[in-house]
Structures are given as structure tokens and as C-alpha cells.
Chains A and B, each alone.
Chain A
Amino acid sequence: MAEAQAETAEKKERPILPFLHLPDQAGEKAYLQGSKCKQCGTAYLGPRMACSRCLSTEPMEEIRLSDRGELHVFSIVHQSAPGIPVPYIAAIVDLPEGVSVRCNIEGVEPDPKNLKFGMPVEMFTEKVHTDREGNDIIAFKFRPANSGKK
């Protein structure tokens, strides 16, 4: 019992993908981590060993990506793997740093007529799962800009 309590006490929030940076302290906001090539300026989601565009191996600059972007394209998935609720909007969002992000769009009915190319969207995070050790799995999602309740 004592062990179980100790585990519970250490329960943490963990990001669903490694490039989602969760706040270290209360009051901070989660953000997507990127990296930027010091030679050609190309930006990437997450870290890179080298620039796949200009081939520079100079260590990249770590950057904090914006939480606002524009909807580039989408699909609406009506049939997915077992256990995954459908339908959902699977989108590609462009961020101002020149990085694109694969994500779900929420806060709008999944119908093509509700989605406009280039529409502004904003990132939010929420708990989507509890893992085997009891940690909260936090995911990032996007929704139409200024529609947020959180």
C-alpha cells in the first residue's frame, strides 16, 4: 500500500508526443517545440540532427512555436481503427514559423462546409488518457481561433 501511494504521489502529466512541451510550473502554457536551422532558417517540428533541406549539421536553434496558425487542408475520417471514435477532423495546420502540424480540429462539427482553407485556428491541450502507470496523457488539439472556452 505504501508503495502504491508513493506511485500515486509521483503521478505526472506526460505529453502524447515528445515535441509537446508541458508547463513546468502552474500558470505557464504548454507549447510545441521546434528547431530552426542556423544556416538556411528552415524550421522543424521537434528536434533534428541535421537540416534535411540544406544538409547543415550545425546544432539547431530551439524555438517555441506559436499556438496560432491557419488551416491548410483536412480530411474527415469516418472509418478508423477499432476503438477510435469517429468522425474526426484530421487536419494540417500551418504555423507562422513555417512549420506545419498534423492535428485534430475540434469545436466545430466535422463537415467540410464548416471548414475554410486558411481559417485561423488556435492550439489547446487536454487530458486524453491515463497510461499504465497512472500518468495523465496530455494531447494538443486545435480549434477555430477565439472559440475557446478554456
Chain B
Amino acid sequence: MRDVAIVGVGMIKFGRYPEKAVQELAGQAALLALKDAGMTMKDIEIFVSGNLYQSNAMIGQRILKEIGQTGIPVINVANACATGSTAFRTAYMAVSSGQYDVALAVGSEQMGKMGLLGAGGGGGGGVSPEGIVGSGLMPAVFGQAGVEHMRKYGTTFEQFAKVAAKNHKHSVHNPYSQYQVDMSLEDVMNARVVAWPNTLYMCCPTGDGAAAAILVSAEKAKQYTTTPIKVAASVLTSDPWSERDLTLPDVNTLTRNAAKLAYEQAGLGPEDLNLVELHDCFATAELLHYENLGLCGEGEAGKLIDSGDTYVGGRIPVAPSGGLLSKGHPLGATGVANICEVAWHLRGQAGDRQVEGAKVGLAHVIGLGSACTIHILQK
């Protein structure tokens, strides 16, 4: 295993692009990352494409038809919401193993106005059990996960709502964010309930987007940039057996396992982090991950959001990008976009949302079913 660095990143503003094909969105992001690294497709030795809904249709190769076909190996990756970050990790493994020196990872998705995810079939006689035998809808599943935290620690609806108010406030300064609307706590709490306790503004939107990153061996990084970003840890876990995992997906244990491995790999702890981009697909999820990532003690997530410490300017800013709640969550793009955001902060290029003096950042993604990635990036 050898050290790996990021030398180029790029993403397009998340939103809705009905007039474009998804490979065009991905191609745009890839070209931005190549330009950022001062490279062309000639320099790329392996390409990993993360896309959930098109991964069975050779989306990676279709992207290369937009930006340059050099005959390099292409890997198409799908891993639920962790698709993009798994693509990044696959590119990382290609370089850290010594097999390749230069790898491109692109995450992309075109969801349009897809609506709620998770209402799949599976019932007898072609009858979906959704709404008859409980719910597999993502807002309900993450609603239940939040209610479980209420049950254990007395966390309140208002504390969950504060997460959304924070992330929407951050988004105002992020030009890549799908929504850039500052919202008061009252706005969030008074919005219609989608699935208790998550109101509309506590749920991430669907949308389209793409993001890209270029990884090289650490010894080659200086050829391309004066500000390489070290990948200090790259971890992927799945859900181990836990008590209710089959009916209430356990989003906590695999995140805790991944965090432990990542901190060990990096030789760092949560106290060393200057910023975190975590998987705030719903406001309830962000609070759970405060504890899962060790940003606070057990049962103290409610206190942490109350303290204001997770705002930009606070002790440990979480989701300076606006998070999935504002920036959007085009599934395959999300994991790479989080890497872009952390890299920009470490380079001091994050504009009005810059976390001053950031040296270490963590990017966390979870895909239900479940898959969890954590990457720790270091200046």
C-alpha cells in the first residue's frame, strides 16, 4: 500500500438538467477535474464511474465517448447512495495497490423529479407491501431512526429541525448547491411533515449532478500541483449483524466501524478534524452520525446541535456545503461531491463558506442496504 493524493477535483452545480444526457453532466465534471489537475484524458490510466441507475448500461464507457476514448480499463460501480464514494475508493485502491499511477473517479446521476425512494415491490400477487406492511420509504426509515434516538436519549423534534436550519444557512454561500435558501428554524418546523419527524425541509431533494476527482500516487503528485490533498484514510464497510437490522436498517453500527478503521488508518481522531461532510440525507441522520463519528459523546448529539458548534465558525463545522439537505443528493454524484468540497476547504478555495485554516476533513456517506464509506483528507 502506498500513499495516494488528490490532484484535481471538479463538479457541476447540482440541480435539474432535463435537456442534458447524464453522460454529458458526468463529462463536464470530468473535464473540470482534468483542467484542475492540468491533465488530459491521455494521462488517465484507469477510470471508475459511479452511477446507480445507469450502472447496468455501461455509463462509464458512454462518458468516455463524450470526453476521450483511449482504451483504458473502465469499472462501473453501484452501491446505493454510497455509489460515488465507492467509485472514489475503487480508484484509490487502483493507485494505492501500485497497479496504476493515475486514476479518474466520476460520480453522476440524473434523477429528475423522481419522487420518494424505497417504495419497491416484493409483495405477493404483484401487490406492493408499502403502506400496508410498514414502510421502506427513505423518509420513513430515517424517521424511525430519528425516533429511536428520541426514545433512547429524549432528543426532540426541534433539535432535529435545527440541523436543517443550519445546513440551509450554509448553502447560501455554496454556488454548487441545488437550493440556496436561508430558512429559519420556524420555517423548517412549520413545513408539512413528509414522515415524522422529518418535515419537507428536513429531507434532501432529488436531482441531477456530477462530480469528479483525480487520484495519483503521492510521489507523482508534485508533478501536477503544489497543493496535493493526501487521502489519509479510505474505508468501506457493510452492515454487520445487529438486532433489528432487517426491519429497521442499522445506519449506526457500520458507520461506527468505518470511523474506527478510518481514524486508525489516518493516525488521527475526531478531535483533529476541521470539517465534516456527512450523509445528511435527512435531518435525523445528521444527529445520529455526530455520535457515530465520535464528534460528541453517546446521547450528546442534541446538545451538540444546540451549542452551535457544527456551524461554520464553530468547533467542528458539519456540512459547510449545505449538505445533502440543500446541495442535493444525485445518488451516484454525492460521494465524489463530498470529496470535492473537503478538498476545496483544505486548499483554501471554498470561497465565502471557507473553514479557516482547515487541515483535515472527513467525508462520510451511507447507502441503505447498507454500505458506508469514510474518507479522511489531509492538507
Listed in ascending order, the chain A residues whose CB lies under 8 Å from chain B are: 14-18, 42, 44-45, 52-53, 72-81, 84-86, 88, 90-92, 94, 98, 100-104, 112, 117, 128-129, 131-133, 135, 137, 139-141
Contact = CB atoms under 8 A, between A and B. Distances in A.
A73 B151 contact: yes
Interface residues of B, number: 39
Nearest to B143: A75
Given A52-B241, A101-B247, A77 B135 contact: yes
A80 B131 CA distance: 8
Interface string B324-357: 0000000000000000000000000000000000
A72 B247 CA distance: 11
A54 B132 CA distance: 32
A35 to B, nearest CB: 12
Tell me if A's interface is mostly helix, strand, loop or mixed.
strand
Nearest to B142: A75
Most chain B Cβ neighbours within 10 Å, of A74, A101, A117: A74
Nearest to B192: A78
B205 to A, nearest CB: 13
The 5 closest A-B pairs by CB, nearest first: A131-B125, A75-B143, A90-B135, A102-B134, A84-B131
Contacts of B144: 73-75, 90-92
Given A18-B124, A73-B248, A76-B196, 19 more contacts: A14-B125, A17-B133, A44-B246, A74-B196, A75-B195, A77-B137, A77-B139, A77-B140, A80-B119, A86-B131, A90-B131, A92-B144, A100-B246, A102-B134, A112-B196, A128-B132, A129-B127, A131-B127, A137-B123
A91 B248 CA distance: 9
Contact of B124 (A45, A74, A75, A137): A137
B124 A15 contact: yes
B124 A131 contact: yes
Given A79-B116, A128-B127, A16 B133 contact: yes
Given A104-B131, A137-B125, A76 B247 contact: no
A80 B247 contact: no
Contacts of B130: 80-81, 84
B134 A92 contact: yes
A91 B123 CA distance: 18
Contacts of A90: 131, 134-135, 137, 140, 143-144, 195
B132 A79 contact: no
26 contacts: A16-B125, A16-B127, A16-B129, A52-B241, A72-B244, A74-B147, A75-B144, A76-B196, A78-B193, A79-B139, A79-B195, A81-B116, A85-B131, A90-B135, A90-B137, A90-B140, A92-B144, A100-B243, A129-B125, A131-B124, A131-B125, A131-B126, A131-B127, A132-B125, A137-B124, A139-B132
Given A79-B195, A90-B195, A131-B126, A103 B133 contact: yes
A100 B144 CA distance: 13
A48 B126 CA distance: 23
B121 to A, nearest CB: 11
B135 to A, nearest CB: 3
Nearest to B134: A102
B200 to A, nearest CB: 8
Given A15-B124, A88-B131, A131-B126, A78 B137 contact: no
